[in-house]
Amino acid sequence: MKSQPIKLKLTYKLDKKELDVPSSKTFGDLKTAAAKQFDLPPEGIALLYRGRKKTDNEVLALAGVKNGAEIKVMETKSYRRQKADEQPQQAFMEFSPEEAAAAREAAVREEAHRKAAAAGQTSLPAAAAKPHASEPAGAAQRPQAAPAALPPREAAMAAIEKIRHEIADLAKQAAEMEQQFGSSGALSSNKAGALTELLTQKLLALDNVDTLGDQVLRQARKAEINKINRLLDHLEAMRSRR
């Protein structure tokens, strides 16, 4: 018996596509189709459904994928690293020497911002800022102390800890939603959908944390991923009880 096609919504960053596929197809088949839609290499992407990363051999119908379902397309860590290695070199080749120098300076500033964010800072240290207009001429040329960046392991643990607090806040919102659902029997689809989206974002953020092969970091990240999956399952259960 031939399976009926289902219409799926594929989301990659801010880009959205609709695709008709037979429900008997696997997520591996869908990954190949998604790669063509977004001009990405199939080996460089992963698919998320209901906040869970799906394996290539899972069948859509057996995974509960129905007409109108949303599938998120995300880049793998290895593909992101590959792009980061290739893009700056390709960009600099197209620049004049002056433009290349300016681009490199901008890349250095961006890296400093990234490290500051990983360390939990909201802005660059004062040493990296431009001198105030009242400072004497030549102040900008004085050597400044470089901002102290956290070692990779501590930076990764800080990132996981930050996400942990954010998940705790979302868990409180889910509990309040369940309490309201229990008293009134009404569940806001918009609120539930927004909460699911936020939890999925935290799942992606955890996926971006490099555990450096460290067992403690892996366990800490896995614990938060498990919390998110439990919350997503709970939200889905509340939706099904409506």
CATH number, residue 49: 3.10.20.90
- Average pLDDT on 77-85 reads 80
Query: Is the dihedral angle over the CA atoms 137, 130, 106, 145 positive or is it negative?
Result: positive
Kindly report the pTM of this predicted structure.
Answer: 0.53
Where residue 151 falls (left for φ over 0; alpha for ψ -120 to 50; beta otherwise) is beta
Query: What is the residue-averaged pLDDT of the chain?
Result: 78
Whether pLDDT at 94 is above 70: no
Q: Give the domain range for residue 91.
A: 77-121
Domain assignment present for residue 96? The answer is yes
Domain match, 55 and 99 both: no
Lowest mean pLDDT among 55-69, 83-97, 128-142, 156-170: 128-142
33 exposure class (CB count in 10 Å sphere: 0-12, 13-18, 19+): middle
| pLDDT above 70 (res 25) | yes
pLDDT at 135 over 60: no
Q: Please check whether residues 172 and 210 belong to one and the same domain.
A: yes
- State whether 158 and 107 are in the same domain: no
**Cα separation of 132 and 77, whole Å?**
40
* CATH number of residue 201's parent domain: 1.20.58.120
Same structural domain, 222 and 156: yes
In a domain, 130, yes or no: no
For 228-240, the pLDDT digits (tens) are: 988 888 887 776 6
Spatial contact of 196 and 186, defined as CB atoms under 8 Å apart = no
Q: 112 and 65, same structural domain?
A: no
pLDDT value for 141: 55
Detail the DSSP E strand segments found in the chain: 5-12, 15-22, 45-49, 52-53, 70-75
Distance, in Å, from the CA atom of 54 to the CA atom of 63, rounded to the nearest integer, reads 9
Asked if the structure places residue 145 within a domain, the reply is: no
Residue 131 has pLDDT above 60, yes or no: no
